[in-house]
């Protein structure tokens, strides 16, 4: 295992500029769309049309720049040395949300309040969990083929992580991380029986979870029949579809969305893609989707050229995370998946989420500097 203070082999070459350019464009577009989507809400709630934008810049962008610089300049193998301490800290923070330090909102305990600052430990977990799985899978060459020494511990870490997230509840984050880990496990060369076995366990677990928690079952029923209760459980998806349909090919114009004013729930986070599609139309929404696709594809290309197994699995995990979270957000707004509350990376309101994804991009850039591109 690489030492925390070990030096990288040789001098790094030029970074992958595709990753950098896509990241910058998504951040700029995100800040612009947040300005549009949040102006009325900011004025009503705080008397400042730019309140949410200022908060996003002050907390998310500032920390994100620091995270990007850290990720891009620190030799990526050093993350492997910190894998166990990082995942331990993440589990501690996840447990802390159930204490008096936890901040409850809308019946969920997903935040930690420290003075004026509130953050979501589940966002920090997105880095530490991928780092831990990549490190664990790369430390022994036959781990992916063993049952007791490989598959069983893999299920155990997935189970502990899922339970901590589900009790918040944050089922969507659990689904994204578990699926990303499963893709990494498959990429490491795991037996197909282990992959299908894990998928079966996940499906059964989700079915049981839906049956014992009525609101989750209601989301599934609403997804299957979105037009049965348009003023109740189906209200959000119907308003999102109305917004997307109103955009047409070129959109109604930047800042001209009408659904964001008083019809579309959560226009700055859960439903921001609907605002994008309404104001920028099919053309603008397609451009943003293309940026996400290029960024994810480039991540997988760099992974293929990574100099070691840890770097390869690390980028496969990050690329899967980015792809799944983007798909789940857009799918929830367009009726392709049940409503999940997953934010759109780089774009939805949330300082912690923006900082984390900028850090992830920085790590991608660092790996690219040692890959044989």
* Most confident by average pLDDT, 10-19, 107-116, 243-252, 280-289: 280-289
Tell me: the pLDDT tens digits for 63-103? 999 999 999 999 999 999 999 999 999 999 888 888 777 77
Residue keyed to tokens 């076995």: 197
Confidence at residue 2, expressed as pLDDT on a 0 to 100 scale: 46
pLDDT(50) > 60:
yes
The domain segmentation of the chain, as residue ranges, is 35-271+284-368
Confidence at residue 1, expressed as pLDDT on a 0 to 100 scale: 44
Could you give the maximum distance between any two Cα atoms of the chain, in Å?
A: 62
Distance, in Å, from the CA atom of 134 to the CA atom of 181, rounded to the nearest integer, reads 9
Task: Give 259 or 313, the one with higher predicted confidence.
Answer: 313
pLDDT(288) > 80:
yes
Confidence at residue 225, expressed as pLDDT on a 0 to 100 scale: 67
Residue keyed to tokens 């949300």: 97
Across the chain, mean pLDDT equals 86
Q: What are phi and psi of 349, to 5 degrees?
A: -65, 135
Q: What is the pTM of this model?
A: 0.91
Tell me: the pLDDT tens digits for 300-313? 999 999 989 999 99
Tell me: the pLDDT tens digits for 90-99? 999 888 888 7
User: Quick one: pLDDT band at residue 106, thresholds 50, 70, 90?
Assistant: low
Task: At 286, list the tokens.
Answer: 């397609």
Percent of the chain with pLDDT over 90: 45
pLDDT(232) > 70:
no
55 to 123, 225, 291: CA distances (angstroms): 17, 37, 25
């Amino acid at each position: 295992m690489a030492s925390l203070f070990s030096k990288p082999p040789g001098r790094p070459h030029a970074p992958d500029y595709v990753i950098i350019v896509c990241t910058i464009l998504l951040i700029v577009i995100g800040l612009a769309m947040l300005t549009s989507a949040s102006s009325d809400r900011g004025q009503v709630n705080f008397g400042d049309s730019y309140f949410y934008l200022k908060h996003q810049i002050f907390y998310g962008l500032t920390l994100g720049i620091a995270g990007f610089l850290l990720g891009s300049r620190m030799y990526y193998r050093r993350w492997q040395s910190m894998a166990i301490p990082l995942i331990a800290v993440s589990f501690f923070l996840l447990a802390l949300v159930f204490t008096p330090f936890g901040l409850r909102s809308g019946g969920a305990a997903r935040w930690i309040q420290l003075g004026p600052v509130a953050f979501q430990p589940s966002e920090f977990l997105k880095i530490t969990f991928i780092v831990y799985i990549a490190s664990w899978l790369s430390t022994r060459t036959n781990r992916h083929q063993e049952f007791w020494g490989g598959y069983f511990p893999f299920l155990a870490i997935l189970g502990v992580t899922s339970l901590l997230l589900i009790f918040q509840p944050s089922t969507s984050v659990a689904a994204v991380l578990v699926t990303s880990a499963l893709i990494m496990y498959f990429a490491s060369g795991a037996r197909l029986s282990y992959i299908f076995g894990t998928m079966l366990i996940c499906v059964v677990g989700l079915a049981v979870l839906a049956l014992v928690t009525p609101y989750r079952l209601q989301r599934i029923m609403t997804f299957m029949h979105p037009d049965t209760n348009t003023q109740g459980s189906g209200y959000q998806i119907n308003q999102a579809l109305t917004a997307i349909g109103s955009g047409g090919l070129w959109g109604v114009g930047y800042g001209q969305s009408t659904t964001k004013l008083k019809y579309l729930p959560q226009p700055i986070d859960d439903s921001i893609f609907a605002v994008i599609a309404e104001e920028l139309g099919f053309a603008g929404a397609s451009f943003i989707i293309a940026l996400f696709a290029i960024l994810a594809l480039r991540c997988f290309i760099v992974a293929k050229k990574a100099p070691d197994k840890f770097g390869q699995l690390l980028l496969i995990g990050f690329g899967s995370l980015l792809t799944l979270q983007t798909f789940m957000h857009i799918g929830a707004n367009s009726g392709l998946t049940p409503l999940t509350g997953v934010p759109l990376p780089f774009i939805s309101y949330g300082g912690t989420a923006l900082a984390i994804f900028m850090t992830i991009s920085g790590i991608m850039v660092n790996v690219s500097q040692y890959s044989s591109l």
